[in-house]
Structures are given as structure tokens and as C-alpha cells.
Structure 1
Amino acid sequence: MDRKSYTAELASLRELRAEITAAEKVVASAQKELDKLTAQRARRVAGLAGYEGAQAAAVAKASGLSVGDVVRIAPLLDPTPAAVRAAKADDPVSVAAPAPAPEAEPVAEPVVAVAPALTRPAPVLEQPAPAVAAPVVPVSVAPVAPVAAAPRPVAEAGPRELPTLPEGPAGARFEAVTTGLVSKRPNFVQQARATVFLDAAAGVLAVRDQVVRVDLGARTPGEILDAILATAPGTERIYITAGAPWHAGAERYSTLKDAVAAWLNTPSERWTTAVGSGRDKLAGHFVHQRQPVGRYAPASAPDSGSTEIRSMGEWFDPDGADVVTCRDAFRLLWQALRRHWDDAVLMGSPSQTGRDLWSRTIPTTGKWAGGYPVLSEELRGLLHATGGQGRTELILPPRVPEQLPALVEYDRTFAYAKHLWKSPVGTPRRITAAAFAAMTEAEQVKALMSCSHWNVRVTIPAGWNHVGLLPAPVTGDRAWVYPATPGATFTTWAGGAEVHLALSNHLMPWKVEILGGLLFEDGKPLDEWGKRLKAAWADLTNLSKLHGDERQRTAAYLASRAVRSVLLFGLGGFAQRPRLVSGTTPVGEALPAGVEILDQDDQVVTWQRQAGFSRDPYAHPEWAAYVWSGARAALLDMKYRQGKEVIGYAGALHAKPGTVVYFGTDGIALTERQPWPYRGEPGDYLLKGHLTGLVEHPTSQEQYLKLRGQGRAELAAKGTDQ
């Protein structure tokens, strides 16, 4: 071969190379499409397993697979008789598969899918070494049959059965919204109410820029109203900053609530219970042990307007602050909010204020410019029954020592503000166990990390020796407990954040079987609201540290606590629990059905009852449930970030086993200090109290709260290095 022929052959070889590369791309594209279609076929086969009458032979013929291939994809379609399967399981040398039967055996247990265990790097900060160091073993994500030896059930008295998603047409209501009910941006401006502040113990009234003394008589509602309106005519709202007149004579009643109800309904010739009218005027009294609301109208002209008597404690704990400081705190709160909302108005409660401020952040452009749809009443009821609030748990011996070496309290600063950046929006998509099993592992992880709510069966792994991770339902006041016994199993509902943590925690992944769930679209309906509230909170927090006047520093601090209440109770308002309505009926007349009697005198019977869900355009329990779930997960495991980089962790799982004593919504108490940095940002763990020396373990929440107070006092006396 000469040089010319060699050069020509090289050129021809390059052309052939290009043709081969093009052909390889075609084959790769075809293989990718084939893999996609094959995976789609597998998902559909697995989905058919959810139909009770599905038969492997028919599915095999329709899919072009063998019966054996169908059974490998969807074990529930195995046509082998149960007796033969049992005999085969008992005979380890049996390898021959029995002949297929024409009918599949009925499945007694619900279809489930085992969620994958998720790995995560170990914590970066120096933390106590985990007590258990077990490798994470990948698990199958196909539907699994019930195990022969059932794990031990949770040893808690009075288990409570939670609702599940029904099948058929009834289930469609759980993937729907309420027709004609949408959260829209308001087209009106709230009207401010004439407000005064009253120290009922000292008889001191702060009205506008004046402070006057008033004679309150016996401090009944009628006497308070007469005194205030004589001094400040036109007053529509009275905040009691000290004195709590509704607790007068409480020793005569069996409960504090009875005493409050009796005070609210004290007979008066001049005043009657307000019946309510207009956009912002509620009817009737609200009976609460410590923060009641009394609504009154003149008996001679009940339609002429009303005046409320409320507790300052709805907004913040005055903690000894005088009435002038409380008034200044309210003024600073309004000024801080006005910097972020031009039309901000302080309404009667933090909940009302929070919801009104949120409504003024509803977008005017984009997908949700027309407002956010309200879920169906059935779905709201499900979320109400299955979405718990903050975690409150006292951990008792022998899980912790009888005598605690110390009691150290950490509180998450402005905790819920950290969890508002993402929330579920729109109509949820129902995910069955079969559909979850048919997902790839990447799709499963994405679903768990998205805005979601899952019905799961949980098994605590052998060797677990730390706190519980997921809530289990029980009857009684507690409603939810957090099992931690190795080998225990329970069925519950939990948010995606908690389920993901159970599968990915750095100590040991839990076994989680998906029974079903609801997958929402990820959105940001609360993000702008949260950003503005955080900015107002930061402004007031800085003012409370830098202002030159001590009274104004205190007022700014109280105002920052009020911003926290606006967010906390505003979020709770989205949950839209079933309405609790109170009223009175003359003695001798028939009471409405289903009422609870609160009080009775010679003239009237005072009662309350649940009135179900209202057509509230701002009812979004999906938002409250998602934020609460994220906050509960952060009590166990919270990331410290610098930009997008995770630089460390905090939370109960990063403390030594046996050191966690108490969980309280947004704080935890332990027996030793932790190396968790405090930066003053929302969600950070602040050292709040430290009680030293041997401490007898509290046997009740009341005892714990008493010790907590002592620990805060001791830390304040000694100072803190945080």
C-alpha cells in the first residue's frame, strides 16, 4: 500500500467512524426509549395489582410478558394457592414452582410498599458519637406481602384508629377542591378599632397618649365597660394587661373554664352579649381559661355597635410590664408591620391579624393570581384528624435517669418562620402503595421530599436506643405519642419531612411501608408573608437590644414576641379546626343538639358545641400540617447552612441517647449542654435555661415547667456564653 492509498483509507475510516457513531446514537436512543416503555409497562402492571379481581394470566397476555415475569413485578398477582405457598415456604429444599391456578387468592392485608433507606453524610460539627452505627442496606421497593411473624405493636394504652383514603367514587373527594371557594386578595382596607389598655388590678387605663385612673367597682364586665366608656367614649376594644378579672372567685367553681364562663355571662341591665355583624365583628363570647374574649353591646341598642374585652396575653406575656409599656409595645408592633404592609391594621387577635396580612400577599400575577383553592371538606377533615401540631413529650425513666445530672433547655428562635419557604398548593394527587412501588428510587425520594402527607406502617429497628421519630395516634388528651421501643410497629400519618428523616437519619434507618399518600405541587404561598414577618421581627429584636431607653427596649421585645404570635397563631388559623360555637338558652327551653353545658344560673344555660367546618375561604390545613411536620422534624435534626452548603447539625438526634428529657413544641430539654452555635436566626437553638446539680426527674408536665422556670432563673443569674 502506497502513501496515497493509506491516506485515502484513513479518510474512509473516519467516514465509517462517523456512521458508526451515528448508528450508536440511534441504538442508544432506541434503548432509552425501550427502557422507558419497559419501565412504564412495569408500573402499569404493578398498578393493576391494586384491583381485587386482577389475574396474572390476563395481565401477562395484555402486556406481552410471561406469568412468571408478571408475578416478579407484582407479587400480589401470584396465582399460587395460599396453602401451596405456605408449604413451599416451610420446605427450604422445594424449588419447583406449582402450576398456575386460574384464580388468584384474595389478599387479606392492604398493599404496601417499602420506602428505600436513604443515606446521608455524618454530621460535620463535633457531636456525641451515635450509639448505633449500622450500615444502610438498600431495600426492595416492590409491593411486599405481610411478614409471617408480625412485629410487636406499640405498647401504648388506648390506640386511636386514624382515617384512611377510601376507594372508588368516595375517594375522589380526597383529590378535589371545594367549588367556588378560593383564597383571594382582599379589595378593601381593614378599619382600625379604637383600642385602650387596662391594668384591671391597679385600675390604670392607657388611652392614646394619656394614663388615667378609673374606678372599676367589682370588676364585672358591665362595670369595666361603664368605667372605660365614660373615660374614653367610642372604645371598641379593651386589652387587660394585668389583673385577670375573669379569675375572680375561681375557687367557687370546679374548673377554671367554668369560672371564666360565669364571669363573661355576669348579668347586667346595661349590657348584653353582642350578636355581631359586618366583616370583622364576631358574635358571642369565647370561653378560654386564660385568654377569653367577651363581646358586649348596649342592652338598649344592641345593633349600635359592640365592645370587646380581651387579654393582652393573646399577643405576648406582659411579664410584669406596666400598662404604658404594653401600649407602647402595641404601637411599635403596628409601626414595624406598616414598614412591610402599607395597609397593615392590628385586629383583635394575632390569628386574625396574621391571616389578614397573609391575604395581602396573595400574588396578582402568575398561576395563583386568582387565589388559592380551598380543599374539599373531606380532605380538610382528613388533615385535621391526621396532622398533629407541635410535639409535646416528657420522656420518663428508665429511658432517662431517675436523677438528672442537670436540666438544660434549648428553644428554637422564631421556629416556624424557618419552615415557610415551601408549602403544598393546588389539588393533591393520590399515591397508592402500588403506584409508590412502581416508582424508581429517585422518584420515591423526590416524592418524600416534596410537599406530601403519607399513611405509613412503621417498624422501629432492633437496636434503636434513642427518641421516637414519628407520631403514633392514641386516645386522650395527648392525642399523639412517639414510640421508641425496638421492634415496635404502628400505623400512622406523617408529613414527608418526618418520613424522610425516619429513612435518612444518621443513626439507623427505620422501616417505613407506604400504605398510601397525598402528593401536592410544591409552591410558595407563605414565603412572602414569612419574609415580611421575619423582617419585622428582626427590626424589633434589634431595637430591643439597641434602644437607649429601658422602657422602649422592653416594649420592642414584647412587640417582637407579638410578631411571633402573629405568625404562630396565623398559621394555626389556616388549620381551620371545626368551629366551636357558644351561646345561651333561657332556663326551661330545649337546648340545641350536641351541646356541652358550660354554666347555668337562674335565667340562662351557657353552652358550646362543635359546628363542623365553615366555608372559610382562608382554610388551608395543608399548609399548617406541612409546617408543623417540618418543625417536628427539625426538633430531631436541623441543618446549619452557609449559603447552600450544610456546615453542621443540631437537634435531639445529635445528643447522646438517654439525655433528652422533654420536647415542647419548639424546644427541647436535655441533661447536658450541646455544642450548637447560636446565630440569632430563625430556627437556631438558643440556650434558655440551665438548672445544675442533681435534679429529681419530673413526673408530670407541671413539674417540668416548674423546673424549667428555675433553670431559666439560674441561667439569667449566672449569665450565658451564648
Structure 2
Amino acid sequence: MDAQSYSTALADLRTVRDQIKKTRAALAKLEADRDKRIIQLASYEKAKAERIAPAAGLGVANVVTLVPALAPDSLAANDDPQPPEHKPSTVQAAVDSTPPLPQHAAAPAMATASARSAPPPAEAAASEPTAAPEAPRNLPSIPAGGDAWFAHTSGLASARPNFTQQARSTVFLDTTTGVLVHRQQTHHLDLGNRAAADILTAVFHTIPEGVERIYITAGAPWHRQADQHPFLKDTVAAWLNAPTPGWRTDTGRGKDRMAGHFVHPRNPVGRYQREHGEQHVEIRSAGEWFDTEGTEPAVIRDAFVLLWKALRRHWPDAVLMGSPSQTGRDLWTRTIPTKGQYADGYPVLSEELRGLFHATAGQGRTELITPPRVPAQLPALVEYDRTFAYAKHTWKSGVGTPRRVTAATFASWSQKEQTKALFACGHWHVRVTVPDTWTHIGILPAPAPGDRAWHYPATPGTTFTTWAGGPEIHTALSNPHTPWKIEILDGILFDDGKPLDDWSKKLKEAWSSLTAQADLNGDPDQRTAAHLAARAVRALLLYGIGAFAQRPRTVTGTTPRTMERDVPPDAEIIGFDDQTITWQRPTGFTRDPNAHPEWAAHIWSSARAALLSQRHRDDNTYAGALHAPPGTIVAFRTDAVYLTQPQPWPHHSQPGDYLNKGHLPGPIPAPTTEDELLTLRDKGRAAHHATPTTGRA
């Protein structure tokens, strides 16, 4: 092969690559449609996986993975696997027909009964000759010699900053109407085709002294050519990387250095710098902070002003940065103590432990429960959402050098020591067995097939291995129905501390103040602005906590198609057009001084547990999904639970309280997809708000 033939073959290969990407997109749509039809068929009471599988062109195991309720009866008859060489310690609460004990009173005890288990469907049906199930995802464990992981990263700690953030000149732009708000002035712009170049030209022509941040309040200009790309992310990447004469991609500056564009399907960030000069500007979505739909740019600007004023009452040097995660974490660093044990900062865990938390600590619970586990026709769909939920769970977090607690160590402890350890800030590797008599929803997250997927096994007798925080383990042991069997395999245990308490209290006070303004202000626009500002405070805490998790970083870049050989060899191509290739590649964990995944994991575990069971001491009652009758839970979405009937759960407008946000009377076809659930949710909210508020939960 000569050079010309080589070049021709490369061009042909690129063409095939492009066709493959488009074909995969079409195939993904067809497969999604197939899966939806399978789930619909499963609502028939006599549906059988053996009949559905050949009609779908799948194996029985694939169908059962989609609809676990269709698992053949013979799959539930296998005995427990043989115990490991060192039998793990087993924890189980005494059976009690009363509501769960208060958190200070639960007393785990050593279990004596063995249990039968049903292996995961994809595993149990491995003998099916036609099946090609996706392999179950096994979570990592602490290896032999892993004691060395229990340390901090040398020279890396969260410390109080010795500088003040610089405020950025900001404008608010509705790209649908062309309305631009700058300080107290409103302008009307001609945005041409709404390309990044058009926006930059129009804004800097109108504000010749320049701005540093452009918040898009409506119009989502990065979606304007969505019909020309197979995926929304491709559309966004093409918009960000389109030519911008006179500008180039920003390389970053200052203490909060952020370089390059950020490709996100809904809230991207475009960062640009003058070709010849030091002028820098960001184009980003105000939707990062709150839902802006239907709100004028001037009201959104007022919301940011109210937010800044509310924060300044607690942080005299508060500055609103580009995103709530950046701002929230910056504000937290300004609460790090200057005296005492952590005056020099909070040390960062070893990279190995951070990686383990990344792989084993999930976030909010997202689950849709479909027929036959719920009725095919729902009598109603009622939504309860926990108000400012994460703020309820920041009063305690793990600090200090973590300790490893092996199965043998845990077994050697007294019952009192075991109980104390499970109520402390810890992360536990456990083997879980669902009780044989269980009729309710799942409690503990388990790794499902897929990259980062989680599900919540509830089938009686099922045994699985997972990682979980103490709050969820407590819920499994002391739930109001039947205690689950929990075997401790390994654990990471911290001392209890309060590194987030001061930060959270200040944010809660700002939220309460803004919420009161939203309730009392007589001006509709100012009410809306105060409401949005309160939502922004929620975002500061929510995304600030998420930022502590410090996911491994992924870098996004672009390369001209004429220079394809310069694409990094470890990069994944995520988009392309006639001129440009967009790629991304993982860069692992950076030396982030504010990386504390152990704090995020404990808060997420606490929030998932409270979604199931939460005691209201002042009302002497409990709330949560496990306190509703079996078969009435339809879905979970992070802080919200959807049921088929109203519940008498108290709401006093405090963080963590369950607020009744929607009620759609039935009969309603049970949702089988997330889109169907969201459609019903929106209808339920509209119906709920249209009725008198008297007597609402």
C-alpha cells in the first residue's frame, strides 16, 4: 500500500465510522422502544418471559432483567453460596411489630438463622443457550494489604482561603426574545442565528466596556440544530466549537481557573478569550441555579441580587461564582476553623479510598416500580417531596484518619460497640438477604448491570453484596415490617465531626429568610425573585455536596478533522461534523484540596434512608415510604416519593419535611417509563395547585 492508498483508506474508514455512529443512534431508539413494549406486555397478569423472549429476539434472562417479576419460579430455589473462609459477622435486629425504634435505641444482634437466596436473574439463567445477559456489576472491595489505603494524601488538605474572590460583571440574556439585562438597564439585541459568535458580537456591541459572564435565561441556543445531530451532546459540542471570529477558547485565569468549554446536554459552559487581548467571557445557563422557565431576565437578575445580599449577611466576602457547585464549595472553605484541631484544614483521603467511594457510593434513589408490583390502573398518583432535604443531614460527618473494620474485628465487638459503629460515620461492605416474608420495596442499593446503575432488590430470599452507609443499614435492621439480614464483610469507620455544620446552618438561615420574603412580598415579581433565590440556596448546598464527591475528571477537546492523528490515543470520540472532531478522555483524580467523598456518601446515605423512614419527634410519628402500605409506592426521584394514596405525614416547612406537591386522581395507567412518570407528575402538580390549600399535607 502506498501513501495515497493509505490516505484514501483512512478517509473511507472515517466515513464508515460516521455511519456506525448514526446507525447506533437509530438502533438505540429501536431498542428503547422494544424494552418499553416488553414492560407493557409484563403488565398482563398471565405474561410469561418464555413467550415474550422469542417475540423480542432476546433470551429469557434479558427479559427478566427488564422485568424481574417475570423470573421463572425455579430460579428461587438455590441455596446460599458457601461462606468464605472467614465467616463475616451478621447483624440482625429483633423482630418487632411496633414502628422502628428511635435512632438512638436500635440494638443490632447476632443472627442465628440461615436464609435462602435467589440469585440475580441474569446470573441464574446463565444456562439459557440463547441468552446473552449483561454481566452483573461487581463492586470493588478492599484488597489484601489494603490497610495502607487508610491514610491521607500527603500535603493535601482543605484550608481556609487567604484571598477574596473577584466579582464578575454579569448580564442576563433571553435568546428567544433578544432581551438583555445589564445592571438596571434593559436592551433589545439582534442575535442573528443565535450562534455563540452572534451572541458575543451583539453583547459586546451593546456593552462596549465588556462583561465577563453571560447567563442565558431562555432559548437554549446550544440546541438550535438538534435535528442535525444524533445526540443532544453532539449538538451542544457543535455549538460551542463553531467558529467565533476574534475569539478563541479560553485557557483560564486566576484562583478559580477554569479552562476550556464544558459540554453538557442542558447546562453547558462556553469559555472564550479575545484573540488579541485579555478579555475573558463565559456563556452559561442560568438553569444551573434554578428553573428559569417563564421568568423575565430582569426578575432573574433580581433573584441573583437577593441571593447575594442574603449570603452577605453570613459571609461578608461572599461572591457569586459561575455555578452553584463552585460558589457553595467556596463558601464552605470560608467556614473552615482558624483555631483548633483542623485550623490547618481537613486532610484529603488517599486516592485509593477516594476511588473506592467513587465506585461504591451512589447518590439519590431513582426507581420506577411497574406492574405487576403496582396496579396497572393506579387509583391516584400523589407526590411527596422532601423540603431542602440534604440540609437535614449535614450536622455530622466523618473526620480524622479512617479505621478499617474487618469482619473478624466487627464480630469481636460487643453488641453495644457494634451499634455505636453502625450509628457513626462509616461505609460498610455487606452481604444482604431480603427476608422470606418481605412484601414491601427494596431498602439497600445493589449494583445493577451497567456503568453506574443501582437498583433496590425486594424479592424475598434474594441475597446480594453491596456497600452502604450506616443510616441505610439501620433502616434495614429496624424497619417497621421485618428486619433484614446484614453480614458485615468489611468497613471504613471515621470519627464523628461537624465540618459542614456551620456552612449548612448559614445556608439554612439564608434559605429561611428568602422563603419568608417569597411568602410575604406584595410584588409578584419580587415574590418570584425571592422564590428563585431560595431555590438557588438549595442548589448551593445540593451541588456543593456533590462537588465534595470529586468524580474523576474528564477533559473535553476538539481537533480539526484534517488533523485527526492528533486526537489523544486514549480519547473517546463523542461528536463530529465536517470540520471538527469532539473527544473526551478521563484524567483521573486531580489533587483537589476540597475532595471529601466520605462526606457526600454519608449525606446521600442519610437522605436515601430518610426517604424510607424518618421520625418526627415533635409529632411523635414517622414518615417515609416504608410507612405506606405495600404496593402503594410507584416511584422515587432523589428527594421525592410517588404513591397511589395520600399520607398523613407532617410538614412544618422545615428541612427534610415531606411536602405534598402533587395529587392526580385516578384511575391512571401506571407509568412504565420515566417520561410517562414526569408527564403524570406535571399533571398532578397542576391539579393540586388548582385546588384549595386547606387541609393539605
1:251 alignment partner, one of 227, 252, 267? 227
5 Å-filtered alignment, 1:78-89, equals none
Say if 2:97 and 2:481, in contact at 8 Å, map to a contact too: no
User: Which amino acid letter does the alignment assign opposite residue 331 of structure 2?
Assistant: L
The CA deviation at 1:268 is 2.3
Say if 2:304 and 2:533, in contact at 8 Å, map to a contact too: yes
| Secondary structure of the corresponding residue to residue 493 of structure 1 | strand
2:168 alignment partner, one of 181, 190, 193? 193
Distance 1:231 1:508 in 2: 67
What is the identity percentage for the equivalent residue pairs of Structure 1 and Structure 2? 60
Say if 2:218 and 2:293, in contact at 8 Å, map to a contact too: no
The CA deviation at 1:300 is 2.8
Say if 1:154 and 1:483, in contact at 8 Å, map to a contact too: no
5 Å-filtered alignment, 1:441-456, equals 441-456=415-430
Distance 1:189 1:359 in 2: 12
Distance 2:312 2:552 in 1: 32
Larger radius of gyration: 1
1:718 alignment partner, one of 688, 691, 696? 691
Say if 1:637 and 1:651, in contact at 8 Å, map to a contact too: yes
Distance 1:524 1:579 in 2: 28
Q: Does 1:695 align with 2:668?
A: yes
The CA deviation at 1:340 is 1.0
The CA deviation at 1:603 is 4.0
1:310 alignment partner, one of 284, 290, 315? 284
Distance 2:390 2:135 in 1: 31
The CA deviation at 1:354 is 0.3
Q: Which residue of 2 aligns with 1:350?
A: 324
Q: Does 1:613 align with 2:589?
A: yes
Deviates more, 1:540-549 or 1:156-165: 156-165
Say if 2:472 and 2:605, in contact at 8 Å, map to a contact too: yes
5 Å-filtered alignment, 1:485-496, equals 485-496=459-470
Distance 1:209 1:291 in 2: 26
Distance 2:364 2:177 in 1: 36
User: Which amino acid letter does the alignment assign opposite residue 153 of structure 1?
Assistant: P
Distance 2:97 2:172 in 1: 54
Distance 2:377 2:432 in 1: 32
Say if 1:123 and 1:648, in contact at 8 Å, map to a contact too: no
Q: Which residue of 1 aligns with 2:118?
A: 152
Distance 1:478 1:357 in 2: 30
The CA deviation at 1:139 is 4.9
Q: Which residue of 2 aligns with 1:140?
A: 110
User: Which amino acid letter does the alignment assign opposite residue 601 of structure 2?
Assistant: A
Deviates more, 1:608-617 or 1:276-285: 276-285
The CA deviation at 1:110 is 4.7
Say if 1:452 and 1:520, in contact at 8 Å, map to a contact too: yes
Change (3 A) 1:478 1:575: closer
Output one character per residue of 1:511-567: Cα deviation in whole Å (capped at 9) or x when no partner. 000001011010000100110000000000000010111100000001100111111
Distance 2:94 2:391 in 1: 27
2:601 alignment partner, one of 625, 628, 632? 625
User: Which amino acid letter does the alignment assign opposite residue 691 of structure 1?
Assistant: L
Distance 2:283 2:109 in 1: 59
Q: Which residue of 2 aligns with 1:708?
A: 681
Q: Does 1:263 align with 2:233?
A: no
Q: Which residue of 2 aligns with 1:79?
A: none
Output one character per residue of 1:409-431: Cα deviation in whole Å (capped at 9) or x when no partner. 00000000000000111211000
- Using the size of structure 1 for normalisation, the TM-score is 0.80
| Secondary structure of the corresponding residue to residue 682 of structure 2 | helix
Say if 2:86 and 2:408, in contact at 8 Å, map to a contact too: no
Q: Does 1:212 align with 2:184?
A: no
Q: Which residue of 2 aligns with 1:513?
A: 487
Say if 2:480 and 2:627, in contact at 8 Å, map to a contact too: no
Change (3 A) 1:633 1:120: farther
What is the aligned-residue RMSD (CA, Å)? 2.0
Output one character per residue of 1:350-400: Cα deviation in whole Å (capped at 9) or x when no partner. 000000000000011121111100000000000000000000000111111
| Secondary structure of the corresponding residue to residue 121 of structure 2 | coil
Q: Which residue of 2 aligns with 1:634?
A: 610
The CA deviation at 1:173 is 3.1
Say if 2:100 and 2:480, in contact at 8 Å, map to a contact too: no
Distance 2:423 2:108 in 1: 18
Say if 1:417 and 1:530, in contact at 8 Å, map to a contact too: yes
Distance 2:333 2:96 in 1: 39
Q: Which residue of 1 aligns with 2:412?
A: 438
Unaligned runs of 5+ residues in structure 1 are: 1-105, 126-135
Change (3 A) 1:231 1:690: same
Output one character per residue of 1:476-512: Cα deviation in whole Å (capped at 9) or x when no partner. 2661000000000000000011011111112110000
Say if 1:120 and 1:505, in contact at 8 Å, map to a contact too: no
| Secondary structure of the corresponding residue to residue 114 of structure 1 | strand
User: Which amino acid letter does the alignment assign opposite residue 587 of structure 2?
Assistant: A
Q: Which residue of 2 aligns with 1:235?
A: 211
| Secondary structure of the corresponding residue to residue 525 of structure 2 | helix
Distance 2:154 2:622 in 1: 44
Distance 2:411 2:257 in 1: 51
Output one character per residue of 1:173-208: Cα deviation in whole Å (capped at 9) or x when no partner. 321110000100001110000010001110010000
Q: Which residue of 2 aligns with 1:562?
A: 536
Distance 1:118 1:188 in 2: 55
User: Which amino acid letter does the alignment assign opposite residue 240 of structure 1?
Assistant: I
Say if 1:541 and 1:557, in contact at 8 Å, map to a contact too: yes
Q: Does 1:480 align with 2:454?
A: yes
User: Which amino acid letter does the alignment assign opposite residue 701 of structure 1?
Assistant: E
Output one character per residue of 1:640-662: Cα deviation in whole Å (capped at 9) or x when no partner. 123xxx71110000000000000
Say if 1:457 and 1:489, in contact at 8 Å, map to a contact too: yes
Change (3 A) 1:574 1:118: farther
Q: Which residue of 1 aligns with 2:572?
A: 596
Q: Which residue of 2 aligns with 1:583?
A: 557
Q: Does 1:281 align with 2:254?
A: no
Say if 1:116 and 1:441, in contact at 8 Å, map to a contact too: no
Q: Which residue of 2 aligns with 1:543?
A: 517
Unaligned runs of 5+ residues in structure 2 are: 1-81, 123-133
Q: Does 1:648 align with 2:621?
A: yes
User: Which amino acid letter does the alignment assign opposite residue 254 of structure 1?
Assistant: P
Q: Which residue of 2 aligns with 1:111?
A: 87
Distance 1:245 1:306 in 2: 20
Q: Which residue of 2 aligns with 1:359?
A: 333
Distance 2:210 2:244 in 1: 20
| Secondary structure of the corresponding residue to residue 429 of structure 1 | strand
Say if 2:446 and 2:456, in contact at 8 Å, map to a contact too: yes
Distance 1:212 1:602 in 2: 36
Distance 1:466 1:275 in 2: 53
Equivalent residues, number: 596
The CA deviation at 1:109 is 4.2
Change (3 A) 1:586 1:110: farther
Distance 1:420 1:438 in 2: 31
Say if 2:108 and 2:415, in contact at 8 Å, map to a contact too: no
User: Which amino acid letter does the alignment assign opposite residue 532 of structure 1?
Assistant: K
| Secondary structure of the corresponding residue to residue 668 of structure 1 | strand
Change (3 A) 1:695 1:107: closer
The CA deviation at 1:155 is 3.2
Q: Does 1:163 align with 2:140?
A: yes
5 Å-filtered alignment, 1:52-91, equals none
Distance 1:575 1:693 in 2: 41
